[in-house]
Structure 1
Amino acid sequence: MRLLILGTGSMANAHAKNFSEIEGVTLAGAVDVNINSVEAFREKYNIERAFTSLDDALAWGDFDSVANITPDNIHYATTMQCLRAGKHVFCEKPLAVNHQDAMEMAQTAEAAHLVGMVNLTYRNVAQLQAARKLVTSGQIGQVKHVEASYLQSWLVAKMWGEWRTESRWLWRLSKKHGSNGTLGDVGVHILDFVVYATDTEIDEIFCRLKAFDKADGNRIGEYDLDANDSFTMTVSFTNGALGVVHSSRWATGHVNELRLRVYGDKGSLEIQHRHDGSKLMVCLGDDVEAATWKELDVEPVSTNYQRFVEAVGQGRTLEPSFRHAAKLQKAIDLATITEIDRKEHQLEENSA
């Protein structure tokens, strides 16, 4: 597989490193509007060609797949351009900034029989894959209740840098700079964590959003700090379960942590995924009466990068697909609406 890397920002390094380690993959080209950045990236990863425009790269065309790591608000335009040129696409999350665009991207890829997959990175967590097997095998019984959280602390700690002075963080706090806040940034991750592990879909949703004061006038330079910092939502699922999902960038002491608790009528499970490791805890069988929890050992799993290469080789899309990401985006769009009108919404026909 010959791959073009579109965008050379910080996340592009993960793509280049992971794809270069997969047998049969050639890093054929890289694109960035900044000539210095793209040339440095090309040299760092021994990439064949460098371009400062997608048009020029597509005119060259000596590649079959694209890793799209552009800013969120141009995923749609750039991905559509690549699909129309007959290229398979592996896109960073979120697939698009709204459901309509995401769905068009999914339909276009499907109609052209091209692979369209999204890098929902927490699918790479082995504990998540093992948890899903516990649910689908019936070991925890019928799922009744779900708790999920995505907690970050970069607004109260400097482990990731100083957000008050760095544009790479400030834009995430500003609506006019294209941010939908915590909901738009990590909402897709925690919702995917939930629906994948529980093997279900979102039925109804109600969400509250909050942007806290962070500076004088809630503004730093050109950045209005008005995008949501925290969200809480209640969710009902098509399998009949009820859930609570929340996230915050003010979660002091958590750095970057996803947690999921799934309660069934035969047993329960809990995933903890932190920057320093992951755990899968279960309460099953005879342990239910004694309320005893045990940690399960799990085997490593294939990464999204490996699955994308496999999908291109097979000529069929694997998960997480564009269509799945479009469903998640629909839930996020509706969550924003519920904040405005203060009432629960149902995902129509539970479809994308």
Structure 2
Amino acid sequence: MRLVIVGTGGMANSHAKKFGEIEGVDIVGGVDRNEERLTAFCDEHNIEKRFTSLEDALAWGEFDAVANVTPDAVHHPTTMPLLAAGKHVFCEKPLASNFADADEMATAADQAGLINMVNLSYRDVSALQKAHDLIAAGEIGEIRHFEASYLQSWLTQPAWGHWDKEEKWLWRLSESHGSLGVLGDVGIHILDFAGFAIGAPYQSVSCHLKTFDKAPGNQIGEYKLDANDSFTMMAETASGAVGVVHASRFASGHMNDLHLQIHGTKGGIKVTNTGDLGELFVCSGPNLEKAEWEQVELSPTPNNYRKFAEAVKSGVNGHPTFRHAANLQQVLDLAVESSKAGGRKDIPLSTQLQDA
């Protein structure tokens, strides 16, 4: 697979590293309007071809697939011409800034018969994959209740850098720079984390989004700090399970922690992203009456980068797909509407097209 990386900011380094470890993948080009950033990135990763416009890269055309690592709001306008040119696309999350754009991307990819995947990276957690398998096999019975959280603290500690001085953090705090706030940045991860484990789409949500004052006038330079910093959500799945989901960048004491508990008629499951494989605990069978939890041994699972490369090679699409990410985008859109209206929003299941 001959791969081009579009967008050469911080996350692009992870793509270059992960794809560079896969036999048979050749990273042949980089694209970025910022020539200085593009040159530094391509020099660091020994990438020969450099393009300051997507149009120039498509005119060259000597590649099979693209890793789209542009900012959220740019995913749609960059992915659509790539699909039209017959290129397979591995896109960062969220797929788009709204459901209409995400739906258009998913439909175009499916109609073109191209490999399309979204880097919902916590699918790589072995504990989550095992939890999904156990629940699908009926280990804890019918799902009744769940609670899920994604906690970060980079607004209260500088371990990853100073949020008020670095572009890679400031744009995430600004709606005018394409950010959907913590809801779009990490909320989509925890919604996917819980939904994938449960094995059912969301049916309704009621959400409250909160933006905190962080600077005089809530602005630093060109960045208006108006994107949400924390959210709390009540949700129900199509299978009838109800639960709570929340995320924050103000969760002092938590660097980057995902927690999930799922409770069914025959037991419960706990999942975290702790360690290389995550951690999984199950309370079922003989342990149920004693309310005791047993840790499950885990094995490594392929990451999304490898699954995308294998999908391009085989011609069979992998997961998570554009369609799945579009369905999640609809949940995000309705969460925003719910927060503005102060009430529950039902998700029309007829619009949640099959994740194929």
> Considering the TM-score relative to the shorter chain, is it more than 0.5?
yes
- Tell me the TM-score range normalised by the shorter chain: over 0.9
CA distance in 2, matches of 1:25, 1:165: 36
CA distance in 1, matches of 2:205, 2:239: 14
2:125–2:277: 8 Å Cα contact kept in structure 1? no
CA distance in 2, matches of 1:275, 1:88: 32
CA distance in 2, matches of 1:43, 1:223: 30
1:256–1:275: 8 Å Cα contact kept in structure 2? no
8-17 vs 219-228, greater mean Cα deviation: 219-228
Identify if the C-alpha distance between structure 1 residues 264 and 109 changes in structure 2 by more than 3 Å, giving closer, same or farther: same
AA partner of residue 61 (structure 1): G
CA shift at 1:165, angstroms?
Answer: 1.5
Give a deviation string over 1:233-290, Cα, whole Å, max 9, x none: 1001111110100011110100111110000111111011147872111111111111
CA shift at 1:181, angstroms?
Answer: 1.0
CA distance in 2, matches of 1:19, 1:178: 26
1:140–1:268: 8 Å Cα contact kept in structure 2? yes
Equivalent position of 1:134 in the other structure: 134
Alignment of 1:170-319 (within 5 A): 170-274=170-274, 278-319=278-319
Question: Secondary structure of 1:157's partner?
Answer: coil
RMSD of the alignment, in Å?
Answer: 1.3
CA distance in 2, matches of 1:184, 1:171: 13
Equivalent position of 1:159 in the other structure: 159
CA shift at 1:200, angstroms?
Answer: 0.6
The TM-score, its normalising length taken from structure 2, stands at 0.96
CA shift at 1:219, angstroms?
Answer: 2.5
CA distance in 2, matches of 1:118, 1:276: 21
CA distance in 2, matches of 1:55, 1:282: 51
Equivalent position of 1:329 in the other structure: 329
AA partner of residue 323 (structure 1): R
AA partner of residue 44 (structure 2): K
1:114–1:316: 8 Å Cα contact kept in structure 2? no
Question: Secondary structure of 1:208's partner?
Answer: strand
What's the % identity of the aligned pairs?
Answer: 53
AA partner of residue 216 (structure 1): P
CA distance in 2, matches of 1:36, 1:338: 42
CA distance in 1, matches of 2:34, 2:250: 33
Question: Are 1:75 and 2:105 an aligned pair?
Answer: no
The TM-score, its normalising length taken from structure 1, stands at 0.97
Give a deviation string over 1:123-168, Cα, whole Å, max 9, x none: 1100000100110010111110010000000111111111122222
1:257–1:275: 8 Å Cα contact kept in structure 2? no
Name stretches of at least 5 consecutive residues in structure 2 with no aligned partner: none
Give a deviation string over 1:166-208, Cα, whole Å, max 9, x none: 2221221122222221111111101100110111110011100
Question: Secondary structure of 1:4's partner?
Answer: strand
Equivalent position of 1:13 in the other structure: 13
CA distance in 1, matches of 2:42, 2:176: 32
CA shift at 1:224, angstroms?
Answer: 2.3
CA distance in 2, matches of 1:317, 1:94: 19
For this pair of structures, how many residues does the alignment match? 352
Name stretches of at least 5 consecutive residues in structure 1 with no aligned partner: none
CA distance in 1, matches of 2:161, 2:277: 21
AA partner of residue 160 (structure 1): W
1:259–1:271: 8 Å Cα contact kept in structure 2? yes
CA distance in 1, matches of 2:176, 2:47: 35
CA distance in 2, matches of 1:39, 1:154: 29
